[in-house]
Structure 1
C-alpha cells in the first residue's frame, strides 16, 4: 500500500528521499510528496500523479526529511490529499500508512478547538493532535506517544517538526523498518526504500515509539526503553533493480530458477526421503492433528489451494483453504488438533494477519509461511517457515508463488513423514521432482519466443478462460489473476468440469481458452472440456506434458515431465503469456492501476 521513507543524518536528504520514493513505486500509489525540515520550518512538496512528475527543488541543504507514496483510501488522489500532511502552523509534518478508524470523531473535536483542515484524509488529524501536545510543552516523542494512544485502527507513522533532531516513528498493524547507516539513519515501510545505503535494519514492533536521530535510534514501549535487534539484510541492492529487463515482473519471472534453488537449498534429504525445515512442531501434536486450515489472499490463496491437496494426500489430514478476509474459527473444530497456516508474501497482509489473530485467540497453533524475515506475521505466529524467494518488486507475484508452492510441498512431505503416512520411497520421488523444478522452469523460460508468438495472435481476445482439474485448478485461477492484474483484460479461471455448468455460455471464437494438461491435473478428463470449448469456436492453448494432444490444440506449450510439480511449471507459461499480452497493449506492468504490492488495510 502506501510507502514511507525518512532520513536524518549528515547528507542532503532530498536526493535520498527522491530515490526512496522511486524504490517504493512497486507498492502502488497515486500521489507522492516530501517534507524537508530546517530550523525555521517545514518545506512540503507534494502532488497527485507519478513520482516522475513530482516537482522538487534542484537541491536543498536540509539533512532531515520524510517522503510518501499514497494509495488512496480516504479522499481522491489530489494534490491536497497527498502526503505529507501538516498542522495549522505548518510546523508538524506526518506521513502515514494504514487507516485511522476514529478520525471523524477526532476531526470534529479538533474543529471545535479551532483547527482547520485542508484535505479529506484520515491522516490529517495526526499533525493537528501533535500540534496541541507540543503546545503543552511535550517533547516530540512524548507527543506522538500521547496521540497514538487515542488512535484506533492500523497505522505506521513518521513525524517531524522543526527544533527536534530527528524523526519519530511508530506503528500498529502496518510495517515499519529502521535502517542504520554510516552517514545517517532511515525509516521506511519496506527495506528497498534505502537498501542502497544500508543493509543493517531493525524492525519496529506494534506500540514502539522510535526516535531516529543522526546519532542513532532509541525505542520505547509503554514509556520504557526497549532494544530491537539489528539484523543484516542478506540480499544486495542490485536484487531490487531491473538488471537490464524492461520490467521488474519479467525479471522476476526469469529469476524463478534461482528463487526455487534458494527455497529448497539445504532442505532436501532425498536419500532418506525427508526434509529439514527448521521448524519445531512437537511429534505428539502432529500425530494428533485432525485438520490444517490455510488462510491467505490472492496469489497466496492459490498457493494454498495447491498445497491443501498435497497435505491431504501426503499427511492424511483434512485440509481446508479460506480467503483470509472470510475466515472464522467455527464449526466444532478442536483448536488443540488444528494447525492454521497463514501464507503471505509480505508478512504484512492485513486480512491474513487478522485471520491469524482469530485463530490464535481460539487456541489453535499457527504457522506463518512468508518471504519476509522480521515481518509482523513471523512475530505473531507460533512458528515461521520462509520461502526465501528474495525481493519481489513487481506488484503481480511471480517468483514468490513458485517458491510458496515449492515450500508448501516440502511442508507436506514433512507432515507426512512425521505422521507416518508417507513412505520414504514415495517421499524421495516427490523430493526428486522438487529438486528438478529449477531446471524445468528454465526450459520453459527458454521457450519464451513461442509464448510471445501466441500472445501476439490472441492478445485482442474479448476475454480469456483458464481451465484445469486437480492441481491444475489453482494454476488456472492464478493464470487468470496474472492476466487480469496486468493486462486489464477480463480473465477467469475455472475448474474444467464447471464449464458446462454455466460459463460455457460465454465461450465464442473471440475468447481463447488456456488449459493445464499435465500430471496431477487429470488431463484426459480436461481434454473433454477442451473439445467442448473448441466445438463452440474457442481457440485453445494447452500447457501440456501429454505425448499426443496436438490435434485438439491451436497452440501447445510443452511442459517438462516432473510428476506432481508439472502444474507449477505450466504456470510459468501462463505468467509469460500474461506479461506479453500486457506488454503488447502498453500496460503499466509493474504498477497496475488500482493495485498495491502489500495490502496493509482490511
Structure 2
C-alpha cells in the first residue's frame, strides 16, 4: 500500500526519489517524506542525515526539497498509508533513530544515526518497543516502523548490513525496508519479507536503487531484480550484494536481472480527466490484448503441464479479495455450468483463519491485479501448507510474487491500472476466467469442440460489444445526476449477475462515498425491502435470461413501495422507462458473457456520480491501490 524509493550513486538521486514517489501515488497515501545523507556531493560540507516530510501530496514534498536545496547522492523516500498512528508529519516516514538517551523534536538532525522507510506491519512492535524503551530509546511517533529504526541502531556495531540482518531475525510480520546510516554515507541496505521490494540496476554502473514497485523506476532503469522472501541487499555506488535470510550470499543465477518494460507512458492521463475514466475506456483494448495470443482453447494457455493438472483435479478453490473476489464469484457460475466442476470461492483474508477441510485434488486459484495482495498471498501459502499442490494464478503482473509462487498462471494484459477503483483489471480477469472455463470443459470432455469454438468466438466479440456499451455514457450521466443527491443505493441481480451487482455497489461506495449494498433480487422480501423508499434508488441488472420473469416480479415489489428503479435491460426484455422506472437498453445480449457487458455501465455510473459529488475519484479516502498489508 505504501511506496518506497531509495537510491545510492555518484550524482544527485533526489529527483529520482521524487519522480518515483509520483509514479507510486496511484497506490494511495496520506503522508510522504524523504531523507538524505547531506554533504555527499559537496566536499567539506557538514555531513549527517536530513529529512523533509509532508501530509500533503508529493508535489508539496518536491517543493520542500527544492526550497531546502537538497542535492545528494544517497537517499530514501516513502509514501505512507496510515496504519499505526494517525496521518501526521511526526508519523510520516522516514523515521530516525538518535540512539538511546534523551532527545527532543528540536534535536539537530545531523545527530540522527539511522534513517529508515518501511512498508508492511510489524506484529510484535509493542514487545520490541518495551524492550527498547528499557534501553533508553525515546519514541517520537505512534508507528510500528520507528521500532525497527531503534532496533537496528541498538544492534549496530559499525556494519549496517549486519545490524539489519540481526534485526530481521527479531521481527514478526511483513516488511520491506530501506535503511541508511550517518556513519556510512555511501551505503544503502534493504530487506523484504511479505512485502515486495525490487532492486534496480543502472546499466552505466553509476547508481543503484530500491523500490516497492518497478514502476517507480520507469525511465531510470529497466534492469530489475525481484527480491524473494527473506532476501537482504547491500547497495553501494555501482555495486550490490544479495544474501538470504541466513546471511548466505546469493549468486547471480539465483536472482537474475530481468529487463522490465518501462511503464511511464501508461501513467499519462492523455485527454482524460481521471485515470479511472481512462481505464474504463481502455477496456476494449485491454480485453483484446488479453485474448491476443489465444488462437484456440488449450490447457497449455495456463502454462506447461496444465493439461496434466486439469486432468488430476476434481474441484476448484478460488482465493481472492475485493473486486477480484467478485470476478471469482462470476467464474463459479461459469465453471459449474459449463465445465461441470464444483467450485468454492473464499475471501482470502477469511480463509486462512478458519479450519477448512483440504482437498489435495482441488486446483487452488488465486486472483489479484497486482499479484502482491498480502491476504491472497498468505491464503495461497496457507493452502499449500494444508497439502494443496495444484495452484494457478490469474494476475495482471507477470513478475509478481503471486505468479512466481503458483505452478500455473494466466497473465491478463490490462496494462497499468492506476485508479484505486479497479475497472479494466476486473473485466480482463473475467475474460481469463472464461478461457479457464473452456479449457477445463475441454479437458473434462463435457463440451464438444464445436461448442468450445462457439464460446471462443463470442469471447472474441466482447471487445467490440464493450465499445458499444461505452456509447451509453450520456444516458448514464443523467442517472448519475440523480444519484449524486442520494445517500444510499441498492443494487439487485440474479444468478451470475448478482456478483455484478456486488461490484457495482462496491464501485459506488469506493469513489462517491454513497452507502451502497447489493443483494440477490430474490432476497428482497427477506429484509432489504424494508429499506426501500423514494430516496433509495434501486439499480437492477436485467439480462434477457431464464431468471428475467422472476426479476420482473422483484422489480414490481420495489415499485409497489414507492421505490425508484434504474434498470440495465437487454433487448426483448420489454422493460421500458415509466414513472418510477428509468431503463437503459443494452446494445446486445451476450449469453454467459453478459456480466462483462453489464458491469461497464455500473463503472460509469460510479464515476459520474463521484464527479457530481466532487470527490477525489482516483484517490478515494482511506483506500489504497495495492493492499500489501493485512
- TM-score scaled to structure 2, two decimals? 0.91
Unaligned runs of 5+ in 1: none
Name the residue aligned to 1:379: 404
Tell me: CA distance 1:428–1:76, structure 2 relative to 1, closer, same or farther (3 Å): same
Supply the distance in 1 between the matched residues of 2:189 and 2:475 (Cα, whole angstroms).
Answer: 53
Counterpart CA distance in 2 for 1:52 and 1:289 is: 52
Q: Is the 8 A contact 1:47 1:80 kept in 2?
A: no
The match for 2:145 is 123
Aligned to 2:65: 56
Distance 1:371 1:67, change over 3 A: same
Aligned counterpart, 2:176: 156
Equivalent-residue separation in structure 2 for 1:193 and 1:515 (angstroms): 41
Counterpart CA distance in 2 for 1:521 and 1:590 is 37
- Distance verdict in 2 for CA 1:179–1:522, change over 3 Å: farther
What is the alpha-carbon distance in structure 2 between the residues aligned to residue 440 and residue 452 of structure 1?
A: 20
Partners of 1:103 and 1:178 in 2: how far apart? 27
1:498, 1:558 → 2: CA distance?
25
Tell me the equivalent position of 1:165: 186
Relative to structure 1, is the Cα distance of residues 213 and 442 closer, same or farther in structure 2, using a 3 angstrom cutoff? Answer: farther
Give the match's secondary structure for 1:57: helix
Cα distance change of structure 1 residues 267 and 582 upon mapping to structure 2, 3 Å threshold: same
Equivalents in 1 of 2:437, 2:237: separation in Å?
48
Alpha-carbon displacement from aligned partner over 1:313-372 (angstroms, at most 9, x marks no partner): 22211101111111158565431x111111111111111111111110111122111111
Match of 2:13 in 1: 13
Tell me the residue number matched to 1:581.
609
Local SS of the residue matching 2:120:
strand
- 1:453-468 alignment runs, 5 A limit: 453-468=478-493
Q: Is the 2:334–2:592 contact (alpha carbons within 8 Å) kept by the matching residues of 1?
A: no
Counterpart CA distance in 2 for 1:261 and 1:99 is: 38
| 1:436-457, Cα deviation, whole Å (9 max, x unpaired) | 1111111122222222122113
- Once the two structures are superposed, the pairs formed by residues 177-192 of structure 1 within 5 Å of their partners are 177-181=198-202, 182=204, 183-192=206-215
Secondary structure of the 1:224 match is coil
User: Matches of 2:50 and 2:546 in 1, distance apart?
Assistant: 59
C-alpha contact (below 8 Å) 2:358/2:386 kept by paired residues: no
CA distance in 1, matches of 2:92, 2:152: 19
**CA 1:572–1:589: 2 relative to 1, 3 Å:** same
CA gap of 1:17–1:527, structure 2 versus 1, over 3 A, is same
Confirm whether residue 401 of structure 1 aligns to residue 417 of structure 2.
no
Q: Distance in 2 between matches of 1:253 and 1:259?
A: 10
Conserved in 1, the CA contact under 8 Å of 2:35 and 2:75? Answer: yes
Structure 2 partner of 1:550: 576
Match of 1:303 in 2: 327
Query: Which residue does 2:359 correspond to in 1?
Result: 334
Contact 1:359 1:366 (8 Å CA) reproduced: no
SS of equivalent to 1:493:
strand
Q: Does 1:560 align with 2:588?
A: yes
Question: Any conservation in 2 of the 1:444–1:559 contact (CA below 8 Å)?
Answer: yes
Range moving further from structure 2, 234-243 or 563-572: 234-243
Match of 1:92 in 2: 114
* Alpha-carbon distance in structure 1 between the residues aligned to 2:534 and 2:436: 42
1:571 is aligned to 599
Query: Does the 8 Å CA contact 1:268/1:275 hold for their aligned counterparts?
Result: no
SS at match of 2:66: coil
State the Cα distance separating 1:298 from its structure 2 match.
0.4
1:47 equivalent in structure 2: 54
> Which structure 2 segments of 5+ residues have no match?
41-46, 99-110
Instruction: Tell me whether 1:389 sits opposite 2:414 in the alignment.
Output: yes
Instruction: Quote how far apart the aligned CAs of 1:408 are.
Output: 0.9
Aligned to 2:462: 437
Secondary structure of the residue that 2:301 maps to in structure 1? coil
Does 1:419 find its partner at 2:444? Answer: yes
TM-score normalized with structure 1 length: 0.95
1:468-479 to structure 2, matched below 5 A, reads: 468-479=493-504
Query: Does structure 1 conserve the Cα–Cα contact (< 8 Å) formed by 2:421 and 2:618?
Result: yes
2:161 corresponds in structure 1 to 141
Alignment of structure 1 residues 239-250 onto 2, 5 Å: 239-250=266-277
How many correspondences in the alignment? 596
SS at match of 1:166: strand
CA RMSD of aligned residues (A): 1.9
Residue from 324, 334, 341 that aligns with 1:317: 341
CA distance in 1, matches of 2:488, 2:126: 42
Shift of residue 484 of structure 1?
A: 0.1
Check the 8 A contact 1:96/1:156 in 2, yes or no: yes
Is the deviation greater in 168-177 or in 545-554?
545-554
Q: CA deviation at 1:106?
A: 1.4
**Secondary structure at 1:165 match in 2:** strand
Taking the aligned partners of 1:211 and 1:254, their CA distance within structure 2 comes to 43
Task: Say if 2:544 and 2:570, in contact at 8 Å, map to a contact too.
Answer: yes
Partners of 1:448 and 1:11 lie apart in 2 by: 50
Q: Which residue matches 1:71?
A: 81
Any idea what SS the aligned residue of 1:17 has? helix
Matched, 1:258 2:285: yes
User: Residue 114 and residue 342 in structure 1: after superposition, are their counterparts in 2 closer, same or farther (change >3 A)?
Assistant: same
